[in-house]
Structures are given as structure tokens and as C-alpha cells.
Amino acid sequence: MSDHSHQDIAKHVKIYITVFVALLVGTIITVALNYLHFDSMALTIAIALFVATIKAALVACYFMHLISERKMIYLIMAFTVFFFIGLMFLTLGAHYDYPPNTTTL
């Protein structure tokens, strides 16, 4: 009839509840960062992006079932992260391409 036992289903439900609680804690941390004022805005953004990355990994691994996929999925994800970081550095590098402000009075 069914090849899933009660213990197997209970184990998956426990994992999903744990991931849900972790996502709630991550959301609370992200909202709390909005009210905390660090010395630099870059530090606040870096911490918020770190928390968001952990939350995205939890969603991808458990809710999208990528934790049990083959190595090819992880290779594709690694290339995506590599190119995303490369594009961010190109964007930051382009910020300094503007000529200096040489207006005279």
C-alpha cells in the first residue's frame, strides 16, 4: 500500500518544523538589524546579506529538496554564485569609472 512509515513522516515533519523555526529566527534577526545601528552601513548590510543567504540555503535545501540532489545541481549553483559575485565586483568597480569632479568657480 504505502511505503512510508509513520516514523519516516514524523521525521520529515520534525525537519520542516525546525527549518521553519530557523527561518523565523532569521527573519527576526533581519528585522532587528534594521533597528540596531552599527558604525557602518556596510557592516549592517553584510550581516543582513549573510542572514538572507542562510535563509535562502535553508529554503533551497529543504523545501526545494536540493539537499538530496546530485552533484551537478551543486556545480550549477557554485557557478551561479561565482558569476554573481563577479558581477557585483564589476558593478562596484564601475562606480570608480566616473571622471573626478573638476568644476571650477
Task: Judge if 31 and 74 occupy the same domain.
Answer: no
The pLDDT of residue 105: 57
In a domain, 17, yes or no: yes
Which residue range is the domain that position 91 belongs to? 69-98
In a domain, 103, yes or no: no
pLDDT in tens, 53-104: 999 999 988 888 777 777 777 788 899 999 999 998 888 888 777 766 666 6
- Please compute, for residue 57, the number of CA atoms within 13 A of its CA located in the half-sphere on the CB side: 11
pLDDT in tens, 6-60: 888 888 899 999 999 999 999 998 888 888 878 888 888 888 889 999 999 999 8
Task: Judge if 41 and 78 occupy the same domain.
Answer: no
Q: Using CA atoms, how far apart are residues 29 and 52, in angstroms rounded to an integer?
A: 10
Task: Judge if 23 and 60 occupy the same domain.
Answer: yes
pTM for the model stands at 0.61
- Please compute, for residue 22, the number of CA atoms within 13 A of its CA located in the half-sphere on the CB side: 17
Task: Judge if 56 and 75 occupy the same domain.
Answer: no
Under 8 Å between Cβ of 19 and 57: no
Written as one letter, the residue type at 60 is: A
